[in-house]
Chain A
Amino acid sequence: MSSSKTSRKESDRHNPKNSLISMISRPEIGPIGVMILLFGMLGYFSIPASETTWNPFAGEGFNALGIRNNLRVISQLGIIALGAGLLIIAGEFDLSIGSMIGFAGACMAMTLRWGFSIVLPYISFDGGAHLEFYTLLHIPDVSPILAIFITLCFTITFGWIQGFIIVRSGLPSFIVTLGGLFFLRGLTEVSLRSFNHRPDQAKGATTVTEIPDIKNIINLPGYGEMEREAAKYLPETDLISILKNLPSDVITKITERLEYTSQRVAEAKTDLLIAKGVKPLEKALENAIASDNEFMIKTIQDKIENFKIDPVTPKTVTDVDIARAYIDTIGSARPVADFFGGNILEPIFDWLYFPVDWNVNNFGNQFAPGLYSCVMIWVILSLVCYIVLSKTQVGNWIYSTGGNLSAAQANGVPTNKVKISLFMFSAFCATLFATCQVFEVNTSDAAKGNLKELEAIAAAVIGGIVMTGGFGTILGIIVGAFIFGLAKEAFFYIPGIDGSFYRVFLGFVIIASALLNENIRKRIMGNI
């Protein structure tokens, strides 16, 4: 026994932070690795077979349209994963998210289509007892913001009810929200059918269609409000008269752009024609080489070399074209609908097409108009959640509610309020999801959001949220949503395999993440 050890102090056992080590021991590092891998896979496998290269950014997954579509899937999932994830951190679950999406979408679409009323049912005895309705309030024309508000009243109240039942009864949230899952889905189907019911049908459809394209309602000077498409197909004389009132610099700019486009389209057409002409020749050349026919090889080679096609002449830009292009530039007269269902970053995507010549499809036209609005909603919501969870008092309450409920209560944390609020927030996220969808596609379907609650929970788990609560970060939830969305796309592109393999892959990832999370949790709890 040596006594020299006695000079060692407790503090000596603590390794001072090494920035590299502390970075790679962050819980998000594993998921971020998987995310990067999937990024690579998506890029690499989406490269068309004829253009093989190792640069993943050459792939279709990362062309303008690919980015637009992938980010849409990711951000939609990301929005509900935030609601689900925060709730799991506080130690509860919400299985009703998917049904809530269907319900919110239907509620919004129905109020937009048929208006909103509050009715009082009563039994009337005129001509036999039957139910009649006294209308207290009827709003035939519901604006987008009012539709969203009405829907939020329903969904957030429902979230509150679920939370209230759970904290008051002590029942597991699994059961209560499972009830919510069936209840809401059923309610959605029932109400859609009864509202869609027509006398000549046995029962109505469970969809709402024929909602106008609200985000594309514009205020055309001299004509009032109308849908953009309708405005573009006004009589040509009207279109030309619209041009008369435009400042000349606007017209020059639009003309310049249209000329660029028709030039670009013509080039693309020429390229296509050349390819069409040369392809059969190349095939023939291959055959000739295979059969070793010197003469044929030479003639075909000559033919390929001298292959010429007159370049397609660009379409001339007419005044009608300019007027239509101008109508495309008029901002929406329904900013709320446009905020949720429209596009963002349009100037950037325009710039990428017009001077940069990147955002171009095979026919020479602009590929993607911008990103879907839901991406912006996701970014804003993530930022807010990040600040709330890691920088505010509520954040500490959320962590402690899920981490050690009795400790939180003993220290005066209003744990019941925290939980109920998060159930309401989860309903809010589902409503946001539905809002974006309704204003994007102008329809709603009772089946919308099916299984989304499980995807949201999966994304949260993949992102490092521990199912028993108390642990996880917003960055993790974001990464989880990326992994889920990217996997879906990347596996779709892998040649020769069934697209559903992404589910197999995600199954592995979920279990692996859960094991990893549990390991980290135990290490922090001091059990390892």
Chain B
Amino acid sequence: MISKSNPLIETKDLVKKFGSFTALNGVSLKVYPGEVHALLGDNGAGKSTLIKALSGVHQPTSGKILVEGNETKFNSPRDASEVGIGTVYQDLALNSLTSVTRNFFLGRELKFGKGPFGILKMQKMHNIAIEEMAKIGIKIEDPEQPVGTMSGGQRQTLAIARAIYFGAKVLILDEPTSALGQKQQMEVLKTIKKVQQLGNIAIILITHNEIHARLIADRYTFISLGEVIGSGTSKDLEGDDIRRLMAGGAEVGDLAKELA
């Protein structure tokens, strides 16, 4: 599964300081197309800060971000999404009160004529929304269904399908399974797997769930206190390594003793 191609997105010695507090202290990582790259680490390790830098929410204090080998600077989330970085935030940026289609195309509606008063191409948008969601494994019966009535997993899929349809080459998922029940977690993992199989999209996945990571991740980066403390492919790492590194390097065995 590991692609030999060049990384789609890469960071070099990324540093982010919030005043005197160093949230990221020189993080380097490479994400390849067709790969799920799991970003693991304890609470407050700096995972969200890292992806916010990648998606243009934060500007790094120093260090470089390279997209397809070219150094890039993002001044806003818009800049990032223009070069193909699609972020699915924890709140998914969906409007529960309107339909699947209206959410799918929110802010980028297809319309007849120019300008904001252009008439929506509703039927075409319905078709695309259904088709795109079907591509990553969710069949929607009624594109007019309000998003609020969909399950959490379906909503995740909608947000992911939307990001991909609008040209995301790098898909960033911040804890996509955290608020879901067992069955829906599996649904989302299947969706991610489908996206991975598309082959041309690099996925950055933040999760606290070791099992999920092991199920779909191709490569791991462990972060602790703003620094990378380990990385590798799924073949390189044993289950114990993962557990140990996820907890910030502390031995789980030690913890078990402490708790006892």
Q: Which residues of A contact B (CB under 8 A)?
A: 10-11, 14, 16-17, 387-388, 391-397, 399-400, 403-404, 406-408, 410-413, 470-471, 521, 523-526
B29 partner residues in chain A, CB cutoff 8 A: none
Asked if residues B149 and A524 are in contact (CB atoms below 8 Å), the reply is yes
**A388: B residues at CB distance < 8 A:** 117
Residues of B within 8 A of A16 (CB): 141
Q: Which residue of A lies closest to B111 (CB)?
A: A393
Chain B hits for A391, CB < 8 A: 119-120, 122
Contact A525–B96 (Cβ < 8 Å): yes
**CB-based contact B107/A408 at 8 Å:** yes
B13: Cβ under 8 A from any A Cβ: no
Interface centre among A396, A397, A471 (most CB of B within 10 A): A396
Q: Is B97 on the interface with A (CB-CB < 8 A)?
A: yes
- Asked if B93 and A407 make an inter-chain contact with CB atoms under 8 angstroms apart, the answer reads yes
In the complex where A388-B117, A412-B78 touch, is A524 in contact with B146 (Cβ < 8 A)?
Answer: yes
List, in ascending order, chain B residues with CB within 8 A of A410's CB.
77, 89, 93
A403 to B96, CA, bound (A): 7
Tell me the minimal C-beta distance from B119 to chain A in angstroms: 5
Contact of A11 (CB < 8 Å), options: B91, B92, B97, B141: B141
* A to B CB contacts below 8 Å, 6 in the list: A17-B142, A393-B118, A399-B95, A400-B106, A404-B96, A526-B149
Chain B residues contacting A408 (CB-CB under 8 Å) are 95, 106-107
B139 close to chain A: CB less than 8 A? yes
CB atoms of A403 and B77 under 8 A apart? no
With both chains docked as a complex, state the minimum distance between the C-beta of B155 and any C-beta of chain A, in angstroms. Answer: 10
Give the distance in Å from the alpha carbon of A257 to the alpha carbon of B2 in the complex: 93
Q: B116's contact among A11, A397, A407, A526, by CB below 8 Å, is which?
A: A397
Residues of B within 8 A of A524 (CB): 96-97, 146, 148-149
Q: Beyond A412-B78, A523-B149, list 17 extra A-B contacts (CB 8 Å).
A: A10-B151, A11-B141, A14-B141, A387-B119, A392-B116, A394-B117, A399-B95, A403-B97, A406-B93, A407-B91, A410-B77, A410-B93, A411-B93, A413-B106, A470-B95, A524-B96, A524-B148
B94 at the binding interface (Cβ < 8 Å): yes
Contact with A along B105-141 (1 / 0, CB 8 A): 1111101000011111010000000000000000101
Nearest residue in B to A387 (C-beta to C-beta)? B119
Which chain B residues border A526 with CB–CB below 8 Å?
Answer: 96, 148-150
Within B221-260, the residues touching A (CB, 8 Å) are none
B118 touches A392 (CB 8 A): yes
Cβ of B102 under 8 Å from chain A: yes
List the B residue with the shortest CB-CB distance to A384.
B117
The answer to whether residues A396 and B93 also contact, given A403-B98, A411-B106, A525-B148 and a CB cut-off of 8 A, is no
A85 to chain B, nearest CB (A): 15
User: Which residues on A sit within 8 Å (CB–CB) of B93?
Assistant: 404, 406-407, 410-411
Within the complex, the shortest CB–CB distance from A414 to chain B, in Å, comes to 8
Interface range on chain B (Cβ under 8 Å from partner): 20 to 34
In B66-105, which residues have CB < 8 Å from any A CB? 77-78, 89, 91-98, 102, 105
Given contacts A14-B142, A525-B148, contact A400 B116 (CB under 8 A): no
The SS class assigned to the A binding surface is helix
Q: Which residue of chain B has the shortest Cβ distance to A405 in the bound complex?
A: B95
Query: Which chain A residues lie closer than 8 Å to B107 at the CB level?
Result: 397, 400, 408, 411-413
Kindly state the separation between the CA atoms of A178 and B43 in the bound complex, as whole angstroms: 45
**Chain A residue at minimal CB-CB distance from B92:** A407
Leading 4 A-B pairs by shortest Cβ distance: A411-B107, A403-B95, A410-B93, A412-B107
What is the chain A residue whose CB lies nearest that of B125? A396
A473 to chain B, nearest CB (A): 12
Report the minimum CB–CB distance from B162 to chain A (whole Å).
9
Residues in A with CB closer than 8 Å to B94 are 404, 407
**Of the residues A10, A393, A404, A412, contact of B117 by C-beta under 8 Å:** A393
Do B98 and A400 touch (CB < 8 A)?
yes
Q: How far is the CB of B255 from chain A (nearest CB, A)?
A: 37
Contact across chains for A400 and B117 when beta carbons are under 8 A apart: no
- Residues of B132-189 at the interface with A, using a CB-CB cut-off of 8 Å, are 139, 141-142, 145-146, 148-151
* Closest chain B CB from A205 CB (angstroms): 43
**Contact B91 A406, beta carbon cutoff 8 Å:** yes
Output the nearest chain B residue to A393 by Cβ-Cβ distance. Answer: B109
Q: A321: shortest Cβ distance to chain B, in Å? A: 52
Nearest chain B CB to A12's CB is how many angstroms away? 10
Contact A393 B116 (CB under 8 A): yes
Closest to A14 in B: B141
Contact in complex: B146, A407 (CB < 8 Å): no
B166 to chain A, nearest CB (A): 9
CB distance from A14 to the nearest CB of B (A): 5
CA of A528 to CA of B92, assembled, Å: 21
Chain B residue at minimal CB-CB distance from A468: B97
Instruction: Knowing A407-B106, A412-B78, A413-B106 are in contact, say whether A399-B116 is a contact too (CB < 8 A).
Output: no
Least CB distance from B154 to A in Å reads 8
Whether B106 lies near A396 (C-beta < 8 A) is yes
Asked if A392 and B111 make an inter-chain contact with CB atoms under 8 angstroms apart, the answer reads: yes
Q: How far is the CA of A411 from the CA of B147 in the complex (A)?
A: 16
Q: Are B97 and A521 in contact, CB atoms less than 8 angstroms apart?
A: yes
Q: How far is the CA of A17 from the CA of B116 in the complex (A)?
A: 31
A199 to B150 Cα, complex, angstroms: 72
Min CB distance, A377 to chain B, in Å? 20
Expressed in whole angstroms, the Cα–Cα distance for A411 and B95 within the complex equals 11
Residues of A within 8 A of B149 (CB): 523-524, 526
A372, B98: Cα distance in complex, Å: 37
Known: A403-B96, A404-B94, A524-B96. A392 touches B119 (CB 8 A): yes
Distance, CA A11 to CA B89, complexed state (A): 26
| Measured CA separation A387–B120 after assembly (Å) | 10
Whether the pair B98, A399 counts as a contact (CB closer than 8 A) is yes
- CB-CB under 8 A from B102, the residues of chain A are 396, 399-400
Question: Which residue of the partner chain B has the closest CB to A469?
Answer: B97
Q: Which residues of A contact B117 (CB under 8 A)?
A: 388, 392-394
- The listed residue with most A CB atoms (<10 A of its CB), out of B77, B89, B93, B150, is B93
Q: Which residues of A contact B89 (CB under 8 A)?
A: 410
Q: Nearest CB to that of A521 among chain B residues?
A: B97
Q: Please tell me if the beta carbons of B97 and A525 are within 8 angstroms of each other in the complex.
A: yes
Q: Which of A11, A388, A394, A470: most chain B CB closer than 10 A?
A: A394
Q: Which residues of A contact B97 (CB under 8 A)?
A: 399, 403-404, 470-471, 521, 524-525
